[in-house]
Amino acid sequence: MGLFDRLFGKKEEPKIEEVVKEALENLDLSADNELALAEAEEVPQEEAEVESSEEAVFEEEEIQVTVEESTDSEPVVEVQQEEVPEEENTELLETVEENSSEVLEAETPQAEETVQEKYDRSLKKTRTGFGARLNAFFANFRSVDEEFFEELEELLIMSDVGVQVASNLTEELRYEAKLENAKKPDALRRVIIEKLVELYEKDGNYDESIHFQDGLTVMLFVGVNGVGKTTSIGKLANRYKQAGKKVMLVAADTFRAGAVAQLAEWGRRVDVPVVTGPEKADPASVVFDGMERAVAEGIDILMIDTAGRLQNKNNLMAELEKIGRIIKRVVPEAPHETFLALDASTGQNALVQAKEFSKITPLTGIVLTKIDGTARGGVVLAIREELNIPVKLIGFGEKIDDIGEFNSENFMKGLLEGLI
């Protein structure tokens, strides 16, 4: 079963018992009630009087028995309750209500978000924007013609899925429209969504898993300044430590004192060691110290933060190459992952950054940040189509636990849910 069928395929038919139960619950019994009411009105008045007199006798006997029982029991001492003024009584009730509500809030902790709920929340802006444009598009067209396809291609480009994706998808839809002899735009709505899912699925090989090692796993993080690279490292450090791993960080962006201080603060916050060097120190020397310490101390995961001066591409390339050689000097098969951090809110600019960094250093995956604050989540499709670099980590928001491993099914469901 393909990804599209798993996400938007036919729902399971309800069991016959559930259908019968629902039918009985919704059955209109008003006619039966009216018939019963008519029969009740036809009962002779004498019978009604007899029934009422019998009820009265029964109630009288019951009252008498109750009085006898109370006489035989112990005497009851009446305590006269002081009347509370109405204002004081109102204040007392308000106080009780406030206290009870505080206790209720304290006893009812907020339910933790599921992974799918995080995807749905963080992709809300993207889904709403794309869905609104798509719905408006279908409302404006009454027939499938060349103008329809041109407008559709423009809509897809505006949704940040990329020029290449928009062009390829439009051509495929032209072919599908001829094949199916589709005359109405709504006939192509499901096909558009299906093609978007197939585009990401490709050959079914996502390669989204992170390559953790039995011993030390070395992760190298690259990306321009301000995309959330250091913050992502800090959140991941907390995530892995909570999972019982021994984590260490390396502050190799030595040319920015703020970057070193920020990573050191994350280390203090999540209680993991951070390897730093003197200001303006050679980044490779700091990485070497970190690698040696990680091996000596039996660290499970070592995460290395690097500079992001893409404007000095030649210098950055030389720096990253040197860092790579130093890492391999200590652990020949490392780094096991080289992650590029991209800010989703930059849209197509993120795609440009991905292209440039892929020229500088081999990338194994992408960390997509700030997806919750943008309507440009479609850039994931552009990255997948044009660069074939898998998104492996995704940031859902500002909380310390708002980061996780990327799941394409959850992402596509969160992106396209409700459009079909």
Report whether pLDDT(229) > 90.
yes
Greater model confidence, 82 or 314: 314
Cβ atoms of 138 and 419 within 8 Å: the answer is: no
How much of the chain is helix, strand and coil, in % rounded to 5?
60, 10, 30
Q: Please report the pLDDT score of residue 199 as a whole number.
A: 72
Q: Terminal CA-to-CA distance of the chain, rounded, Å?
A: 19
What pLDDT sits at residue 2? Answer: 60
Rounded CA-CA distance 373/369 in Å is: 9
Q: What is the mean pLDDT of residues 31-38?
A: 47
Residue 91 has pLDDT above 90, yes or no: no
Residue 76's pLDDT is what?
42
Establish whether the linkage from the previous residue to 75 is cis, with ω within 30° of 0. Answer: no
Give the model's pLDDT for residue 8: 54
* Range from 27-41, 142-156, 224-238 carrying the lowest mean pLDDT: 27-41
pLDDT band at residue 164 under the 50/70/90 scheme:
confident
The residue ranking higher by pLDDT, 68 or 250, is 250
Cβ atoms 4, 197 nearer than 8 A: yes
Does pLDDT of 242 surpass 80? yes
Task: Please list, residue by residue across 287-308, b when 16 or more beta carbons sit within 10 angstroms of its beta carbon and e when fewer do.
Answer: bbbbbeebeeeebbbbbbbbbb
β-bridge partners, 304: 220, 250
Q: Class for domain 116-201, per CATH?
A: mainly alpha
Domain boundaries of the chain, sorted by first residue: 116-201, 217-408
CA-based nearest residue to 396, from 382, 384, 409, 406 = 406
Spacing of C-alpha 100 from chain mean position = 33
Closest CA to 405 of 233, 205, 223, 210: 210
3-state SS, residue 98? helix
> pLDDT value at position 262?
94
- Residue 360's pLDDT is what? 86
Q: For residue 353, how many other CB atoms are within 10 A of its CB?
A: 21
pLDDT of residue 52 exceeding 60, the answer is no
Q: Which helix (H) or strand (E) holds 220?
A: strand 217-222
What are the angstrom distances between the C-alpha of 323 and each of 29, 105, 294, 296, 341?
Answer: 79, 52, 16, 19, 18
Mean pLDDT calculated for residue range 111-131? 74
User: Which residues contact residue 202 at a Cβ distance below 8 angstroms, ignoring those fewer than 6 apart?
Assistant: 384
Mean pLDDT, the chain, as a whole number? Answer: 75
Whether 243 has a pLDDT exceeding 90, the answer reads yes
Which amino acid makes up residue 170?
T
More confident residue, 265 or 388: 265
Q: What is residue 81's predicted lDDT score, i.e. its pLDDT?
A: 43
The yes or no reply on domain 217-408 and CATH 3.40.50.300 is yes
Give the span between the Cα atoms of 335 and 210, in whole angstroms. Answer: 12
Q: What is the pLDDT of residue 385?
A: 77
pLDDT confidence of residue 98? 46
Pairwise pLDDT comparison (154 vs 200), residue with the higher score: 154
